[in-house]
Chain A
Amino acid sequence: MASDIGKVRLRIPSSIKSDDVVKVRILVIHPMERIERDKQGKIIERNYNYIDKVLVTYLGKTVASFDTTQNVSENPFFAFAFRATDPGQLKVTFTDTTAGKYEGTTDIKFS
């Protein structure tokens, strides 16, 4: 399923009012390779492909950023909150150790 790597999904509540604190759930399809060891238990040195940075911006300003290690599950899921002050774009950028960059955006609208 290598072709699915980097698919980003954002889930926001269906109705958002101005100045609400909104909880957002995000997911990216990514293998998050685990460390492999040889028979002696020594780590096999190579560049493991996993996401080490997640950046969330809203209206161009950083809301939260996650520094992650391989202890995060495959197809990582994260959640965070932000205060919806104005309609605009919420953007999530995932970066992995092979310089892969996966982005997901959603427009915040008030109902």
Chain B
Amino acid sequence: MVTRRTVLGTLSTLGVVAATGVLPARGAASAQALGQQETIEAAMKRLFGGRPMKDGGSLIKLDMPLIAENGAVVPLSIEVSSPMTAANHVKHIYVVADKNRIPVVTRVALTPAAGQAYMGANIRLGETGDVRAIVEQSDGTLLQVKREVKVTVGGCGG
């Protein structure tokens, strides 16, 4: 039976749904802020606020070519040895290219459901420079590895 009361109740639930629908738009705005034209130092400061960073060479496997003939497409993969349990897992993997005008390339958020801390992507590199993989673990520890990639033809356009 449809009474005035049930109709009003349904309407208010719809209102809640509409309100939550706004959230992804806000997420998009923050993602836009992720890629800003800035120096690498400014980017690191903005993302990590000067938190100490350990060398992650023993845990992080950053796989990418030493020489990239075409900077427009540089394949890259990152594997982190981690148990990926709820208590101890890799929360974020950041990819940062030092010499790009917009240094932050991507941020990957992982959950324990991933089973393995692994990501791959094709990225653009403007010129020869370091590429960093920065891993944030669930306890807040930051680990970093760096690799220099030589770029023959830049791929970032302007």
Query: Chain B residues near A72 (CB, 8 Å)?
Result: 105-106, 121-124
Looking across the interface, which residue of chain A has its beta carbon closest to that of B72?
A: A73
Looking at chain B's contact residues, the main secondary structure is mixed
Chain A residue total in the interface (Cβ 8 A):
36
CB distance A78 to B72 under 8 Å?
no
Check B111 for interface membership: any CB of A closer than 8 A: yes
CB distance A79 to B74 under 8 Å?
no
Looking across the interface, which residue of chain A has its beta carbon closest to that of B95?
A: A71
Check B120 for interface membership: any CB of A closer than 8 A: yes
CB distance B113 to A66 under 8 Å?
no
Within 8 A of A (CB), among B132-154: none
Check B53 for interface membership: any CB of A closer than 8 A: no
Shortest distance from the beta carbon of A37 to any chain B beta carbon, whole Å: 4
Query: Chain A residues near B106 (CB, 8 Å)?
Result: 66-69, 71-72
| Given A34-B158, A36-B158, A79-B121: A68 and B72 interface contact (C-beta under 8 Å) | no
Query: Chain A residues near B101 (CB, 8 Å)?
Result: 35
CB distance B108 to A71 under 8 Å?
no
CB distance B114 to A81 under 8 Å?
yes
Q: Which of A58, A63, A71, A83 contacts B156 (CB 8 A)?
A: A71
Within 8 A of B (CB), among A47-75: 52-53, 58, 61-74
CB distance B113 to A58 under 8 Å?
yes
Shortest distance from the beta carbon of A45 to any chain B beta carbon, whole Å: 12
CB distance A77 to B120 under 8 Å?
yes
Shortest distance from the beta carbon of A99 to any chain B beta carbon, whole Å: 8
CB distance B124 to A73 under 8 Å?
yes
CB distance A80 to B97 under 8 Å?
no
Shortest distance from the beta carbon of B38 to any chain A beta carbon, whole Å: 12
Query: Chain B residues near A83 (CB, 8 Å)?
Result: 113-116
Check B155 for interface membership: any CB of A closer than 8 A: yes
Query: Chain B residues near A63 (CB, 8 Å)?
Result: 110-111, 113-114
Q: Which of A37, A62, A74, A81 contacts B158 (CB 8 A)?
A: A37
Q: Give A70 to B103 CA distance when docked, in angstroms.
A: 10
Q: Give A96 to B74 CA distance when docked, in angstroms.
A: 21
Residues of A within 8 A of B (CB): 21, 23, 25, 34-37, 41, 43, 52-53, 58, 61-74, 76-83, 95, 97
* Interface contacts beyond A23-B118, A25-B120, A71-B35: sample of 8 additional A-B pairs, CB < 8 Å, sorted by A: A34-B156, A35-B158, A43-B37, A61-B113, A66-B109, A68-B121, A70-B102, A72-B105
Residues of B within 8 A of A (CB): 24, 27-28, 31-32, 34-35, 37, 72-75, 77, 97, 100-102, 104-111, 113-124, 155-158
